[in-house]
C-alpha cells in the first residue's frame, strides 16, 4: 500500500513539474517601486543571409558563436563599448507615474525613460530607444528581453566582424519572424545580419 501511494505521489509531482511555461503575458499584476535584476544571459547568436526572398540561416559551427566572442573580449574593456555597455540591467526604479530610471549593470550609468503600462506589460521609451518589460509572478518579478541586430561582414583576412545596427523589442516573437520584419523595413541594405537575444530578469 505504501509503495502504491509513493508511486502515485511521484507521478503527480512529475506531472506538475512538466507543466509547460505560459507562452503569453500574465494579467492582474501590481507594480513594485524598484526591481533588482540579478539574472543576465545572451542566447547564442544566429546569422542569416537576407538576400534571398526567404532569408537563410547560416550555420557552420563557428560563425554563429563569433558575435558572442566579440562581446566577450570587448566586454573586458573599461569602459565597455556601446552597445555592450547597455546589454545588462542592474535596477529598474519607477520614479512616478510616467518616468522610470534604468541603471546599467556594473556601471554608474543611468537612463531615464518615459513609460506606459498595460497591466503586466510596460513599454519604456527615450530618444535613445525603447525597451519592453514583462511583469511576472503577479508583479513581484520583472523580465526584459530585446534583440541586438548586427551587420555581419567578412573581412579580407577571412575574419567575421559584426557592426551594431539596432536594438529591437520583440514580444513573443521568433528570430525568423524578426528577420522578416527587418528585411521588409530595410530592403536591399544588408547582405547578412546576425541577431542575438539579451535577457534581463529578477530571477532565473
Tell me, yes or no, whether 8 lies in a domain: no
The reply to whether 104 falls in a domain is yes
Residue with more model confidence, 158 or 53:
53
Which residue range forms the structural domain that includes residue 100?
A: 25-201
- Is 12 inside any structural domain? no
Joined grid coordinates for residue 49: 543571409
Q: How far is Cα 103 from Cα 88, in angstroms, rounded to an integer?
A: 9
Residue 106 falls inside a structural domain: yes
Identify whether the C-beta of residue 183 lies closer than 8 Å to the C-beta of residue 55.
yes
Q: Cell 522578416 maps to which residue?
A: 180
Q: How many domains does the chain have?
A: 1
Which pLDDT band, with edges at 50, 70 and 90, does 22 fall under?
very low
Give tens-digit pLDDT for 33-88: 999 999 999 988 899 999 998 899 988 877 878 887 777 776 666 677 889 888 99
pLDDT above 70 as % of the chain: 83
In a domain? residue 14: no
Within a 10 A sphere around the Cβ of 202, how many other Cβ atoms? 21
In a domain, 49, yes or no: yes
The answer to whether residue 177 scores a pLDDT higher than 70 is yes
Instruction: Please state, as a whole number, how many other Cβ atoms lie within 10 Å of the Cβ of residue 182.
Output: 21
Q: Is residue 11 part of a domain?
A: no
Tell me whether residue 2 is in a domain. Answer: no
Amino acid at each position: 500500500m505504501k509503495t502504491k501511494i509513493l508511486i502515485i505521489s511521484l507521478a503527480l509531482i512529475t506531472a506538475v513539474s512538466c507543466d509547460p511555461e505560459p507562452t503569453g503575458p500574465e494579467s492582474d499584476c501590481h507594480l513594485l517601486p524598484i526591481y533588482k535584476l540579478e539574472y543576465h544571459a545572451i542566447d547564442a547568436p544566429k546569422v542569416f543571409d537576407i538576400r534571398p526572398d526567404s532569408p537563410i540561416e547560416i550555420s557552420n559551427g563557428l560563425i554563429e558563436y563569433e558575435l558572442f566572442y566579440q562581446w566577450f573580449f570587448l566586454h573586458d574593456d573599461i569602459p565597455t563599448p556601446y552597445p555592450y555597455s547597455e546589454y545588462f540591467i542592474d535596477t529598474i526604479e519607477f520614479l512616478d507615474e510616467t518616468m522610470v530610471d534604468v541603471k546599467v549593470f556594473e556601471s554608474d550609468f543611468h537612463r531615464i525613460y518615459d513609460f506606459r503600462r498595460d497591466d503586466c506589460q510596460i513599454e519604456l521609451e527615450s530618444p535613445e530607444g525603447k525597451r519592453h518589460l514583462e511583469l511576472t509572478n503577479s508583479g513581484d518579478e520583472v523580465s526584459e528581453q530585446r534583440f541586438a541586430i548586427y551587420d555581419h561582414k567578412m573581412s579580407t583576412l577571412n575574419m567575421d566582424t559584426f557592426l551594431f545596427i539596432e536594438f529591437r523589442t520583440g514580444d513573443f516573437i521568433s528570430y525568423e519572424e524578426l528577420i522578416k520584419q527587418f528585411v521588409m523595413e530595410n530592403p536591399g541594405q544588408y547582405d547578412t545580419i546576425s541577431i542575438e537575444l539579451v535577457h534581463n530578469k529578477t530571477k532565473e
